Amino acid sequence: VQLQASGGGLVQAGESLTLSCEASGITFRFAAIGWYRQYLGSQREFVAGIRSSGAANYADSVTGRFIVSRDNAKSTVYLQMNSLKPGDTAVYYCNAPGSYFGATYRPGAFWGQGTQVTVSS
């Protein structure tokens, strides 16, 4: 299984950025996919998850600003990040194949390599 995350970069507060995660080695259309982020010196925290159906859920800190979507034909999940804040600065990771226990995304065994997002004030 390989997860290739891309799209990170340096932006100013208020701007937008879209991350991509291309997966291989899994039956993508059946897989739940998650996005996490890790601040320097901290553990990874959940950002967003998307079920195979396309239904999504988000951390409270990004609800209303971030949108996760998937393109099964391209085996790719996207994280559109709007109204970015300096507090969103972190390394972002995608994860698969996840599972859901109720509304809670549980991470699977595989992680992408991470992509750095830096938001300047």
30 to 9, 51, 114: CA distances (angstroms) = 30, 8, 23
Q: What is the pLDDT of the chain when averaged over all its residues? A: 97
Contacts of 75 (CB under 8 A, 6+ apart): 22, 23, 24, 28
Strands 76-81 vs 115-120: parallel, antiparallel or unpaired: unpaired
Strand-pair category, 9-12 with 115-120 = parallel
Which tens digits make up the pLDDT trace of 23-39? 999 999 999 999 999 99
What's the pLDDT band for 58 if we cut at 50, 70, 90? very high
Average pLDDT, integer, range 86-112? 97
User: What's the average model confidence in pLDDT over 89-100?
Assistant: 97
- DSSP class of residue 60 equals T
Query: What local confidence, expressed as pLDDT, does residue 41 receive?
Result: 92
Q: What is the pLDDT of residue 94?
A: 98
Q: Encode pLDDT of 10-25 as tens digits.
A: 999 999 999 999 999 9
Structure tokens at 102: 């109720």
pLDDT at 25: 95
Tell me the pLDDT tens digit for each residue of 59-88. 999 999 999 999 999 999 999 999 999 999
